[in-house]
Amino acid sequence: MAETCGRSLATSTTPGGAQNLDWMAIYLPDDFCHVIHIPVHLHPLGGTRCGKKEALERLQLIVEQFDFVVFDKSDLLIERNRAAVEVPIHYRHRESGAPFESTKANFRTLEDG
């Protein structure tokens, strides 16, 4: 279970476009929430998206609009059926060339079935 949990977290945090989002969608619960701690009035991709569909739509926009310059997922922690990772990310907005830096945190708990 730990290997599956770690593989799920490591793969879903990799910038890989639509194919990774499709794979990630299989494992997300319908009530999944995705939070970007940027006020929506500063950037429309900020805020909280509740529901798997809404969260995946926003993630798709990010994949389409940004190039991932640095994406370091080497700090992966795995314990039985849960995993956690903080990922320092450096993006570049494709249209403007503006740099963007953030830290992404993911926490997963896997259940059998």
- Domain count across the chain: 1
User: Which pair of structure tokens corresponds to residue 14?
Assistant: 């990799």
Question: Which of these, 64, 71, 61, lies nearest to 91 by C-alpha position?
Answer: 71
pLDDT tens across the length of the chain (113 residues) = 444 444 444 445 455 555 578 887 887 888 888 888 888 888 888 899 999 999 899 888 888 888 888 877 777 888 888 888 888 888 899 999 999 888 888 777 777 65
Note the pLDDT of residue 19: 58
Distance CA 89, CA 81 (A): 26
CATH number assigned to the domain comprising residue 34: 3.10.450.50
**Reported pTM:** 0.66
Range of the domain at 35: 2-109
Residues 6 or more apart in contact with residue 43 via CB below 8 angstroms: none
Note the pLDDT of residue 49: 92
Query: Is 83 exposed, middle or buried, given 0-12, 13-18 or 19+ CB atoms closer than 10 A?
Result: buried
